[in-house]
A and B are shown apart, each in its own frame.
Chain A
């Protein structure tokens, strides 16, 4: 007790954790500035991080030694959360990838910046640094969406969407209805008096702007262009106005009878065509950014069901360009075919030969008369040795080309 009483007061304060590095009173940031003189410019910026402003460099940095880069006292992808732990609400529906990664410095300067919230760039520029595709589209749009011009954070929370996808502050249509009053006569006229306030606005509209009037997506279904909503939906005065007149492909058959009839006349139907959602499994019935009103880019769309194939493609040592680029239709018919795997050609050799001049690249006999030694019911074709969506071996061989591939048949050469 007597010993403790003899110690200076500052020492006791250190013991409590407020001054873990036992800095002399009044030292703090000033002592860092004696070497890091250029930092004075940072302190002069309009927006300075609070611990920096109060000279508490040791809130983030260990002045002596550290196991982390830049003498940070914790991992750079975790240190911000020590104070800003609540930045992502518990159970958030969507979280910005950079936040998940703890890569806060991608957007924020940890010391100071010219922009509010210590953002490294002002306004939308900080978002467009990563979201280049959106930036280009926004710049090229003929019809702008006002909230985008005001700033991305008008609609999006840059860290997480508590209850909404895409970091939205609210789900649609509530978010949209904050500005667009669905009860206004002009709104109702434009939507043919249909109760769209209950629908998904982005089914027709590109929220970032568009080259089309009404900021409709680039590819628009004809009935929508012609404002003939009642061609598919019940009359606008009906209690269930948004309900379609018929279900599934029966509705689409009304205009696309040739396509639907052709599909159903084939031996093999792509089964999603025949289920309850039918055409809507792949197509957006109103408008889309993709050709043919596909709901997503082809690779993502097909991959949403055939995820195992996509995973194999991604892991494949050699990439097969049509598969890798998401040009599934190069080989497969998306609706129906008379051929296995919905291939557009019954003969594999001919199909592969569309791109590959195999007669020059391969001297191994293939064709209907060349029987596969492994299976008397099979003839050799490209898929006898290659797996079109990829494999762990070079040239997506089915077995290791250096060893097992050839000796699958030529067993006499097996070591």
Chain B
């Protein structure tokens, strides 16, 4: 009798351990460098690119900040692991007087391009062909007071999330451009540099100085910190994106690395590092995932976009 109970207990413990291990293993991500983009289609080199956006349909838009332009690429259906033949076409540039210093970029499901200009501190809207359609008008959207966007994200459903550091809030705008709700910054935060939006509408806020991630559930008006402080793991994080599983990919700008956090915000590993050669990063900016396991990073001080395959 006792031996049967003991055996059941033991097998239960083994099963629990296996489940935990597989859960942890599911969150472990390895980044394998496969390629880098150095220039546009005409061979004109990228210069201090700070932004990159994947449209999920094989398109890539780069905010080539130092050259005051956007550059578009079309990605190969399958990423060639060895030759770096990830781009089949494109490298066409978009140069606009209304966008003198693009630093962040997003692409909607309809192909519209949204770009945050660092000098004007406005979000420009462009048609799929790159034609300037106007700036996101926060006043018209119903935002009552001054707003200065530090970053923004476009959810797959077209909802726009703007990180307004002057108003100390996240502004959530619907597809009609109207203000849906605001998420107030928590009192204890130090300085938010970026935000990410999970597939379920959860908003994640990145505190660069406090080295912490805050989260606000869908439809929530307040953000709370995730349990783990990241002071030991991050030097100066400034950009973040979420994958379809809710894992967060955080750029450690000064450390030249990418830190991966689990769905609960716990540390799951650090990839890449400071360097000049391919596979290494120097003061990276925005990053994006194409939904097929490919990660693109704006490798700012290396004047290129680095491409990594994610895997276990």
Contacts and interface: CB of A to CB of B under 8 A. Distances in A.
User: Secondary structure of the A side of the interface?
Assistant: loop
Contacts of B300: 340
Interface string B276-309: 1100000100000000000000001111100000
A375 B119 contact: no
Interface in B136-189: 146, 148, 150, 165-168
B40 to A, nearest CB: 12
A376 interface: yes
A305 interface: yes
Contacts of B283: 340
B241 interface: no
A376 B38 CA distance: 8
B119 to A, nearest CB: 5
A264 to B, nearest CB: 8
B198 interface: no
B166 A377 contact: no
Nearest to B50: A340
A46 interface: no
Interface residues of A, number: 30
B301 A340 contact: yes
B277 A267 contact: no
B190 interface: yes
A401 to B, nearest CB: 16
A266 interface: yes
A325 interface: no
A250 B119 contact: no
B270 to A, nearest CB: 14
B101 A267 contact: yes
Nearest to A340: B48
A378 interface: yes
A294 B160 CA distance: 37
B168 A374 contact: no
B168 A275 contact: yes
B277 A375 contact: yes
Contact of B302 (A247, A378, A408): A378
Given A271-B150, A308-B236, A308-B254, A378 B303 contact: yes
Interface string A204-234: 0000000000000000000000000000000
Contacts, number: 76
B277 A377 contact: no
A269 interface: yes
B136 to A, nearest CB: 17
A332 interface: no
Contacts of A309: 236, 254
A130 to B, nearest CB: 30
Contacts of A304: 209
A247 B236 CA distance: 28
A378 B276 contact: yes
For A250, A268, A271, which residue has the most chain B Cβ atoms within 10 angstroms? A271
A191 B243 CA distance: 56
A302 to B, nearest CB: 12
Contacts of A240: none
Contacts of A377: 38-39, 45-47, 302-304
A309 B39 CA distance: 31
A102 interface: no
A56 interface: no
A309 B236 CA distance: 9
Contacts of B190: 305
B118 A375 contact: no
23 contacts: A268-B119, A269-B118, A269-B121, A271-B165, A272-B191, A274-B148, A275-B168, A276-B166, A305-B190, A305-B191, A305-B209, A308-B236, A308-B254, A308-B255, A340-B283, A374-B277, A375-B304, A377-B38, A377-B47, A377-B304, A378-B302, A384-B276, A408-B277
Given A269-B118, A375-B276, 15 more contacts: A265-B119, A267-B101, A275-B165, A275-B191, A276-B165, A304-B209, A305-B190, A305-B191, A305-B208, A306-B236, A308-B235, A309-B236, A309-B254, A372-B276, A375-B304
